[in-house]
Amino acid sequence: MADDIFADATAFGFETRAIRAGQRHDAATGAVVTPISLATTFVQEEPGVHRGYEYSRTNNPTRQALQECLASLEGAAHGLAFASGMSAEDTLLRTLSPGDHIVLGNDAYGGTFRLISAILAPAGIEWSAADLTDPAELRAAMRPETKVVWIETPTNPLLTVVDIAAIAEVTHAGGAKLVVDNTFATPYLQQPLNQGADVVVHSTTKYCGGHSDVVGGFVATNDTELAERLAYLQNAIGAVGSPFDNYLTLRGLKTLAVRMDRHCENARAVVDLLLGSDKVTHVLYPGLPDHRGHEAASRQMKDFGGMVSFRVKGGADAAMRLTTTTEVFSLAESLGAVESLIEHPGVMTHASAAGSEL
């Protein structure tokens, strides 16, 4: 990114970098839109000598543009794009060895929990859950073998807010790396690397893509050694998106700032509606002054996000009925796109966590 002036966060604002970072005008035609490079292989001038691209699994011009752009938005020196958020997480956690230990927030996304508990644990990776809103809880959960502390903030689905700087201090004192899933906040609202995190992960399927038409994942870091290891694994495993997928995500990033402003505005309107309903018992939203994480969210987030969780009178049966009777909100998994969606996490996205300590 050294030759890309638009990657410099000190010289250009978020919105400009979302449109220009990594997205050079096409040298052949002058096209202002990053081309979709469909080539699977690239001509070499002599064996082993090429122009930065040899095989599209290893590197691809469209993917490179996406990687540079989103890394810039996260304030990261390095960024790697993957075929999904889960493949990004899986590749990152493959840097661990049997016997290593992960501390996972006790309000984790179901897919992350499944990956760690059902796939990595049988392979020898140890894990435990803790309330990461309390640094003392993390301190008690840390072991000499702890290599990773994994947090989401805000969390999916309870919108718990974790103080990134406070948890980073405890994590680093224990010799571990802090990974932050920034999917709900996006780099527009929150930049964990600036708060002390070592790695940021995203499901770019959500707000970054923003249109319910592309699945993707991302890892950002300032750790050059880790980035080199991840690039090796990215190529060796091959869980990368197609050039068209990368293009769609890159297109989505161009409007991320304006979309997030509107998402936040709409969320506040939904919160006001729910607070006025006698059928709602609890509204979980970091923007509410009585939210447990409101103070931390006010410090580390630009705004409070577009997600709202709530509980209704009548328990699970009433919640299930509600999800099937809305007219404007569609019953579907995922989030962060232009449609308004509603779901029941315990039955849908978090079913894999049922009966666990999460």
- pLDDT (average), residues 328-351: 90
6 CB-side CA count, 13 A: 16
Mean pLDDT over residues 223-227, rounded?
A: 98
Lowest mean pLDDT among 4-18, 138-152, 172-186, 340-354: 340-354
- Domain range for residue 341? 256-353
Alpha-carbon torsion (288, 291, 293, 295), positive or negative: positive
The answer to whether 220 touches 206, Cβ cutoff 8 Å, is no
Residue 355: per-residue pLDDT? 58
In this prediction, residues 285-307 reach a mean pLDDT of 98
Q: Mean pLDDT in the chain?
A: 95
E strand or H helix that includes residue 136: helix 135-141
Residue 60: inside a domain: no
> What per-residue confidence (pLDDT) applies to 352?
61
Identify whether 92 is part of a domain: no
- Quick check: 351 pLDDT over 90? no
Residue 283 lies in a domain: yes
pLDDT tens, residue by residue, 232-264: 999 999 999 999 999 999 999 999 999 999 999
Q: For residue 356, is pLDDT > 90?
A: no
Q: Tell me, what's the pLDDT at 1?
A: 41
Task: Kindly state whether residue 289 falls inside one of the protein's structural domains.
Answer: yes
Pairing state of beta strands 146-152 and 101-105?
parallel
Give the up-direction half-sphere exposure of residue 141: CA atoms within 13 A in the CB hemisphere: 27
CA distance 240 to 84: 8
Task: Answer yes or no: are the C-beta atoms of 158 and 284 closer than 8 Å.
Answer: yes
276 domain-assigned: yes
Tokens of 252: 């989505």
* pLDDT score recorded for residue 6: 93
Q: In this predicted model, which residue has the larger pLDDT, 348 or 260?
A: 260
Average pLDDT of the segment spanning 140-146 = 98
Q: Given a cut of 70, is residue 59 above it in pLDDT?
A: yes
Backbone angles phi, psi at 263, to 5 degrees: -55, -45
Beta-strand relationship, 217-221 and 199-203 = antiparallel
CA 73 to centroid of chain Cα atoms: 13
Q: Find the CATH number of the domain harbouring 340.
A: 3.90.1150.10
Q: Is residue 349 assigned to a domain?
A: yes
pLDDT reading at 2 higher than 50 = no
Query: Could you tell me what percent of the chain has a pLDDT over 90?
Result: 94
How many structural domains does the chain have? 1
For residue 354, the model assigns a pLDDT of 60
Q: What is the C-alpha separation between 241 and 78, in angstroms, rounded?
A: 18
Q: Does residue 111 form part of some domain?
A: no
Task: Provide the pLDDT for residue 9.
Answer: 87
pLDDT value for 348 = 80
Q: What pLDDT was estimated at residue 10?
A: 86
Which has the closest alpha carbon to 270: 252, 292, 249, 285? 285
Catalytic residues: 57, 109, 181, 206
- pLDDT score recorded for residue 158: 94
Q: Would 207 be classed as within a structural domain?
A: no
Cα separation, 291 vs 268, whole angstroms: 14
pTM summary value: 0.95
- Check whether 131 has a pLDDT greater than 90: yes
